Amino acid sequence: MASADELILQMQHLAAQAKATRAASGQRAGLDRLKSSTQKMAFEKQTEVDALTQAISGAEERVEELRKGGIVGDEAKEYVALRNLIDDSKKQLVKSNAQLQFALDRMELMERREYEAFHAEVRAETHGQLAEDPLFNKT
């Protein structure tokens, strides 16, 4: 028969196990849904950043071609349109880069939450084992 101290210790381990289990489930709640939406956002923003970078590069090359030959007549409208496109694309590129960085930061936070949930599960399992044998009696 177990002594009162052993029973108290066993109850403490069971309470700690329950607390760690709740912590693990709380940290994992909604994580998969959030993770998939964040990965989707990161992919979309990376695609947008790549497209904007290519658009800016192509427009800048065309502007240089226009400058080399000298801008005459109808080329002036094209030059102004390209300059506006470059300016607008650069502004959008800054926004897209910021959104991409936000998505990557969220992914890092989710990885941290997964790590913390894993440790809470390990603590719960350890306390469960200790509740079965609170004094490490090997019989």
Domain locations along the chain: 4-132
Q: Is the pLDDT of residue 139 over 50?
A: no
pLDDT tens-digit series, residues 113-132: 888 888 888 888 887 777 77
pLDDT tens-digit series, residues 13-55: 778 888 888 877 777 777 777 788 888 999 999 999 999 999 9
Give CA–CA dist 47/39, Å, rounded. Answer: 12
Classify 133 as helix, strand or coil. coil
* Residue 18 phi, psi dihedral angles, 5° rounding: -65, -40
- Asked whether the beta carbons of 102 and 42 are under 8 A apart, the reply is no
CATH code of the region 4-132? 1.10.287
| Chain centroid to CA 118 | 17
* Residue 137 phi, psi dihedral angles, 5° rounding: -75, 120
